[in-house]
Amino acid sequence: MTSAALNSAPVAAASGAGQTIFRRNLRQFASNRLAMASVGIVVLFVLLAIFAPFIAPHDPNETDLFRRLQPPAWQTGGEWAYLFGCDALGRDILSRIIYGSRISIFIGAAVIFVATTVGIAAGLAAGYFRGWVDVAISRLVDILLSFPYLIFAIGLMAMMGPGLVNIILALAYKEWVIPCRVVRGETLATRELEYVEAARALGASSGHIMVKEILPNILSPVIVVSTIRIAHVIILEASLSFLGLGVQPPTASWGSMVADGRAHILGAWWVSTFPGLAILLLVLAINVASQGLRDAFDPRFQE
């Protein structure tokens, strides 16, 4: 046969053109400057959270009643050692923001990790087995979606009591439906493709088909959605803490810092404003970065 001569040329050309679709998408993402700047901000916050004890200028829980509501450094009465001023108990606001980033980022990441894991498993099962499995999972999803998120979380927190693990559970209880619906839809479409049928024809088990054949091909949209949802979870955690149902004092959390400053907002604006800005900056950065991810990884947004 002449096939040997015929097939060597195109393969050489193809391998030179580029490696995988994933790498091409990654390159496209890297060329988006706004998204890369946002990634930079997110990385900065993560570093702050990890190295908080070395970066924070003061102990976040050390009270000093002489510095009660001390204004930020550039206002009269401020000190450069206390850049953003102090709260009603004389604690350094900058240090508390730095320590507070640990709570926000940890809870955001933990909730999304738990929710995505559960959501992928449930979505794969629903989309692959269909029938009563799908009916059971999809109805549960519908029921959970019919509750307003924050009210649902408040109810769970009231039942379980405050605490770090409980916040993660309270938020993940509902958050998993988002990846679940994405995975279910993608699985329903992917399971009908010929390469899935080919695996079945070869004698592959359902588990193999779900994990090895379907999952790698539907991961991109799941990752994109989960990144977007991290920002949402951070806001929810801040809301719970603002309402006093989140992390308990004296642990610094951005939401509870905003709540603490509420009583003094007219006289000491900085107590609420700086933690509020921190929430804004981190959430905005995550959103912009995930938009960039979506643009690069979702073929529907590519020109």
Partner 1 sequence: MTSPAKPLLSVENLSKVYQGRQTLANRLAGVRPFSVRAVNDVSFEVRRGEVLGLIGESGCGKSTLGRAVLRLHEPTAGRVRFDGEDVTALSAGALKDMRRRMQIVFQDPYASLNPRSTVADIVGLPLRLHGLAKTTQEVRETVARILERVGLNAAHLDRYPHQFSGGQRQRIGIARALISHPEFIVCDEPVSALDVSIQAQIIQLLLELKDEMGLTYLFISHDISVIGYLSDRVAVMYLGEIVEMGPTDDVLARPRHPYTQSLMSAVPDVDAPGKHQRVRLAGELPSPLDPPKGCKFHTRCPLAIDVCRREAPISEQVAPGHQAACHRLSEDLSVRETAAGAQAR
Q: Does 302 bind partner 1 (CB under 8 A)?
A: no
Single-letter amino acid, residue 26:
L
Q: Where does residue 103 rank: exposed (0-12), middle (13-18), buried (19+ CB within 10 A)?
A: buried
Stretch that binds partner 1, among 51-59, 192-200, 232-240, 292-300 (CB under 8 A): 192-200
Q: Does 267 bind partner 1 (CB under 8 A)?
A: no
Please name which of 157, 188, 184 lies closest in space to residue 172, comparing C-alpha atoms.
Answer: 157
Stretch that binds partner 1, among 8-16, 27-35, 251-259, 270-278 (CB under 8 A): 8-16
Q: Does 132 bind partner 1 (CB under 8 A)?
A: no
CA dist., res. 228 & res. 296, Å (int): 14
Closer by beta carbon to partner 1, 32 or else 187: 187
Q: Does 203 bind partner 1 (CB under 8 A)?
A: yes
Could you give the residue ranges of the DSSP H alpha helices within 130-148? 131-145
CA dist., res. 69 & res. 78, Å (int): 10
Q: What is the DSSP string of 28-68?
A: HHHT-HHHHHHHHHHHHHHHHHHTHHHH-SS-TT---GGGT
Q: Does 65 bind partner 1 (CB under 8 A)?
A: no
Please name which of 182, 266, 163, 259 lies closest in space to residue 226, comparing C-alpha atoms.
Answer: 182
Cis peptide before 250 (omega within 30 of 0): yes
Q: Does 299 bind partner 1 (CB under 8 A)?
A: no
Q: Does 303 bind partner 1 (CB under 8 A)?
A: no
Q: Does 151 bind partner 1 (CB under 8 A)?
A: no
Please name which of 137, 115, 107 lies closest in space to residue 238, comparing C-alpha atoms.
Answer: 107
CB of 140 to partner 1, least distance (A): 21
Q: Does 34 bind partner 1 (CB under 8 A)?
A: no
CA dist., res. 230 & res. 20, Å (int): 27
Within positions 206 to 225, which residues make up the interface with partner 1, using CB under 8 A?
A: 208, 212-213, 216-217
Q: Does 43 bind partner 1 (CB under 8 A)?
A: no
Which of 193, 211, 263, 280 touches partner 1 (CB under 8 A)?
193
Which of 33, 165, 194, 299 touches partner 1 (CB under 8 A)?
194
Contact footprint for partner 1 (CB under 8 A): 1-4, 6-7, 10-11, 14-15, 20-21, 193-195, 197-204, 208, 212-213, 216-217
